[in-house]
Amino acid sequence: MNVRHVVLDSSLGPLTVVAEDGAITGLYFRHHIRRPSAETFGPEVPVSEDALLNEASTQLHEYLGGERREFDLPLAPEGDDFQDAVRTIVEDIPFGETTTYGQIAELLGDRRRAWDVGQAVGANPLCIVVPCHRVVGANGSLTGYAGGLKRKKALLELEEPAPVSAGRLF
């Protein structure tokens, strides 16, 4: 087991990217809700000395710079079967679009499980790459985000189509 990490500077603050063997297993903000203990991240390595972490860094900077819409990284997040099912749906939310917790629950066969979906989305260990920021409340409100609502808003604004952002008053 070759667990290691890198801490990247970004427009949203420091991001910790964790890799195990040949896959990315975690992406966390400094004050991330449900952030695992730093001891589980393995040693910090120079990004230039690890091809996978270097590629993750490049893709994250491209995305945050508005130059990338999708990530192409090997991922291996931990989670139970329900979390994996939710994550699969979240991965398919297109850039610039949102869905609700209830709509995901409906896709999973039981709209009454919206709260459970919210818990699974909140446990996503791969923020940004698995775009949990694209999941909003039933009325379109910004609800919970492990990296904080300011970051969720910033990510949604980054993905906002130009005509929408041009018509916004704020």
Closest residue by Cα to residue 54 from 91, 19, 14: 19
Cα–Cα distance measured from residue 78 to residue 126, given in angstroms and rounded to the nearest whole number? 10
Q: List the structure tokens of 150.
A: 């300011």
Distance CA 45, CA 37 (A): 17
Among the options 129, 132, 135, 146, which is catalytic? Answer: 132
Beta-carbon neighbour count of residue 122 at 10 Å? Answer: 16
127 catalytic, yes or no? no
Give catalytic residues, as residue numbers: 132
